[in-house]
Amino acid sequence: MSTPSADGLEVVDLAREDLPEAVGVLARGMRDNPMHVAAFGNDPNKRRRILERLFGALFRVMVAQQPICVRREGRIVAATGVAPAGSCQPTPRQGLALAPAMLAAGPRAAGRASRWIRAWGARDPGEPHVHLGPLAVDAHLQGQGIGSRLLAEHCRRLDAAGEVGYLETDKPENVVFYERQGFETVDRADVIGVASWFMRRSPRATGGAS
């Protein structure tokens, strides 16, 4: 357990019992991302509900996940999924377990979402990598440095372990956010009509084990 820093933010592993709170933060924070609008339609409340169901299923089914969160005054203000090397793509069994949450979005949305997820999955690097996401700061708290703190802790862990980081994103302003901490764009594609960036980060020498 870490102690909060001067800004009151504490970046910690997400406890299993806090998953519902973190999933709420992720669903609110990512509700308006272009990919989610393209996949799930124009109704913001519907998008949030679909994302809550999908992220809930993701963390329940993808058991290797090691999510991180940021807390302020005891509340979760940001969260991210972290898939350790070799665990980011669902096995056939995990794919089946995820299907009901996807289908609950409705047949057309589920079709668009599966095209999106297949297109991103097809670009997954062949090399071992730690896969970041979904990542969000709660909707009303973005732009205050919270996401940078979360990403810095993720990158610190990558460097300490000497591991490659990888992620996908759908907003140009996010590309700048990730570049600041050493991610580089390795591919770009239009996926269900939405620009996607694929980003990789090499580990930096830390000068000793942490």
Ligand X SMILES: CC(C)(COP(=O)(O)OP(=O)(O)OC[C@H]1O[C@@H](n2cnc3c(N)ncnc32)[C@H](O)[C@@H]1OP(=O)(O)O)[C@@H](O)C(=O)NCCC(=O)NCCS
Q: By the criterion CB under 6 A, which residues form the site for ligand X?
A: 29-30, 33, 133, 135-137, 142-148, 169, 171, 173-174, 176-177
* Closest separation in Å from C-beta 27 to ligand X: 10
**78 touches 142 (CB < 8 A):** no
SS3 7: coil
Amino acid code (one letter) for 171: K
Identify which of residues 66 and 103 has a Cβ nearer to ligand X in the complex: 66
Nearest residue relative to ligand X (C-beta) = 147
Q: Which residue has the tokens 């690097």?
A: 125
Return the number of the residue (30 or 50) whose C-beta is nearest ligand X: 30
Token pair of 144, please?
Answer: 């205050």
**143 versus 207: smaller Cβ distance to ligand X:** 143
Which residue's entry shows tokens 């997820």? 117
CB of 46 to ligand X, least distance (A): 17
Of 165, 188, 191, nearest in space to 178 by CA: 165
Least Å distance between CB 32 and ligand X?
7
CA distance 96 to 61: 10
Minimum Å gap between C-beta 24 and ligand X is 13
Distance CA 92, CA 89 (A): 9
Taking alpha carbons only, the member of 165, 184, 123, 137 closest to residue 29 is: 137
Q: How far is the CB of 208 from ligand X (least distance, A)?
A: 27
* Phi then psi dihedrals of residue 138, to 5 deg: -55, 145
Q: Are residues 177 and 165 in contact, defined by beta-carbon separation less than 8 angstroms?
A: no
CA distance 50 to 44: 10
Cβ proximity to ligand X, 119 vs 177, nearer residue: 177
Cβ nearer to ligand X, comparing 57 with 78:
78
Of 89 and 91, which has the nearer Cβ to ligand X?
Answer: 89
In degrees rounded to 5, what are phi and psi of residue 145? 90, 0
Closest approach of Cβ 25 to ligand X, in Å? 9
